[in-house]
């Protein structure tokens, strides 16, 4: 009886831990509901609210990324939410057509790359979402 309880409790935790770094990973569909924190909907249809620094939240709230298959690295926080790693750790990936792609933003005019949505600091044009393979970084 005790053993069974232990098993079901461990299965309920939708987090996988990467052994080498101690960083946790969550993956699911990025959902952006009005007035709520961005969240991941896992394959088990659980919603994990996501938090992070301002630049990270900018990415998570980018309407162009709504519904993507998102993988986030970071730390679970109390209450079932998940704290995504700081923006400089490049902790967010989109899975698309079998590739794991880093989320970046690109100004074609100035050839300037950033990691959060907004206007280009050079020409003030809106930057475009540019998903790239991490090896290309
Ligand atoms: Zn520019």
Q: In whole angstroms, what is the distance from residue 76 CA to residue 95 CA?
A: 21
Residues lining ion ligand 1 (Cβ < 5 A) are 107, 109-110, 120, 122-123
96, 68 contact by CB (below 8 A): yes
pLDDT 10s per residue in the chain (137 long)?
Answer: 445 544 444 444 445 544 445 589 999 999 998 888 999 999 999 999 999 999 999 999 999 999 999 999 999 998 899 999 999 999 999 999 999 999 999 999 999 999 999 999 999 999 999 999 987 65
Whole-number Å distance, alpha carbon 14 to ligand 1 midpoint, is: 40
Whole-number Å distance, alpha carbon 62 to ligand 1 midpoint, is: 19
Architecture label for domain 14-101: Beta Barrel (2.40)
Q: In whole angstroms, what is the distance from residue 29 CA to residue 120 CA?
A: 28
Whole-number Å distance, alpha carbon 92 to ligand 1 midpoint, is: 23
Backbone angles phi, psi at 61, to 5 degrees: -100, 5
């Amino acid at each position: 009886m005790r053993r069974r309880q232990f098993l079901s409790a461990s299965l309920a935790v939708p987090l996988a831990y990467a052994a080498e770094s101690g960083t946790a990973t969550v993956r699911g569909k990025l959902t952006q509901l009005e007035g709520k924190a961005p969240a991941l909907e896992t394959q088990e249809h659980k919603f994990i609210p996501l938090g992070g620094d301002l630049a990270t939240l900018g990415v998570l709230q980018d309407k162009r990324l709504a519904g993507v298959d998102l993988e986030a690295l970071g730390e679970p926080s109390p209450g079932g939410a998940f704290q995504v790693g700081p923006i400089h750790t490049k902790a967010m990936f989109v899975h698309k057509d079998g590739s794991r792609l880093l989320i970046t933003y690109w100004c074609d005019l100035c050839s300037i790359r950033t990691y959060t949505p907004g206007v280009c600091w050079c020409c003030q044009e809106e930057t475009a979402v540019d998903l790239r393979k991490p090896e290309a970084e």
